[in-house]
Each structure stands twice: as C-alpha cells, then as structure tokens.
C-alpha cells in the first residue's frame, strides 16, 4: 500500500509540467569594436521569470550614444533599424543564453554608437504586452 508521502511526491511531480516559469531576456553583450559591413555576435542572457513569458522578437537599432535607449518617460528610441530577429515560433533555445548574428551596415559612420535591442513581449495569465530595451555602446570602425 502506498504511503501518504509517496502519494504526495507523485502528486507534486505530476504538477511540475504545469509550472509556467519561462526564460526572459535579461542582458545584452557584444564585442566592444565592430567593423562596418561585417557580422558580429550578440549574446543575450536570460533569466527565469515565475510566470509565462514570451519574447517575440528583437528589433536592432543604432543610435547616437546620448539619444538611444529608454528615455525617462519610458519611450524606447532604437535609432536607425539595422536588423530584426524573430524569436516566437522558432526553435531558439533561450535558457541561460543564446546568440544572434547582427550585421553592421556597410555605410555606418565610424565612432561610438549605442546598439539597442528592443524586445516586445507577452507576460502572465492576463496576456499583458509591452516593450523592453537592452543596449550597449560599441565602437564602429571602417
């Protein structure tokens, strides 16, 4: 006859697949220097969120360092769009970290630029959506 302890463990184990914790993008890392016209690898770190979380895509942009990113009013400025990475419905393994190849435009002026990754997402049982941004300063060389 099964013990109460074994029944409880079995019941809890059965509920684990129903847990809805999901990875969400939490940080962006890139090389410090990128050559215009070439690809570079962006590494996106993820964290586990307690509810369901779905990052839909990444809109990549370059902006002057003093203007890009998220403003004090919450507005996200990506600057000039240089790429788009779909995430939803792909087989991208997002747990812990994943990489994305981004192309630096061939005609991008040399200097320091803010690379912005704007990420639309859906979270929670309510289905709330919003947009978050991640950025890093990179030096573009000719």
Is residue 11 included in any domain, yes or no?
A: no
Residue 19 has a pLDDT of 44
Taking only the tens place, the pLDDT of each residue in 73-117 is 889 999 999 999 999 877 766 778 999 999 999 999 999 999 999
Is residue 13 included in any domain, yes or no?
A: no
Is residue 79 included in any domain, yes or no?
A: yes
110 with 37: CB under 8 angstroms?
no
Residue 8 has a pLDDT of 44
Residue 60 has a pLDDT of 98
In sequence order, the β-bridge partners of residue 70 are: 76
Contact partners, residue 121, CB within 8 Å, separation at least 6: 24, 53, 54, 55, 56, 129, 130, 131, 132
3-state secondary structure of 137: strand
CATH number at residue 87: 2.60.40.1930
Is residue 6 included in any domain, yes or no?
A: no
Is the pLDDT confidence value at 120 over 60? yes
Taking only the tens place, the pLDDT of each residue in 62-79 is 999 988 888 888 899 999
Domain count, the chain: 1
Is residue 1 included in any domain, yes or no?
A: no
Is residue 15 included in any domain, yes or no?
A: no
d(CA 124, CA 24): 12
Is residue 58 included in any domain, yes or no?
A: yes
Is residue 37 included in any domain, yes or no?
A: yes
Domain extent, residue 69, equals: 20-141
């Amino acid at each position: 006859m099964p013990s109460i302890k074994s029944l409880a463990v079995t019941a809890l184990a059965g509920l684990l697949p129903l847990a809805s914790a999901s990875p969400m993008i939490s940080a962006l890392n890139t090389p410090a220097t990128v050559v215009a016209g070439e690809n570079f690898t962006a590494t996106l770190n993820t964290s586990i969120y307690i509810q369901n979380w779905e990052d839909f895509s990444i809109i990549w942009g370059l902006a002057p360092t003093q203007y890009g990113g998220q403003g004090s009013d919450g507005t996200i400025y990506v600057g000039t769009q240089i790429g788009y990475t779909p995430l939803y419905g792909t087989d991208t393994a997002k747990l812990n970290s994943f990489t994305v190849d981004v192309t630096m435009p061939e005609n991008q002026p040399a200097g320091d630029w803010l690379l912005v990754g704007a990420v639309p997402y859906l979270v929670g049982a309510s289905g709330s959506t919003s947009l978050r941004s991640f950025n890093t300063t990179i030096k573009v060389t000719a």
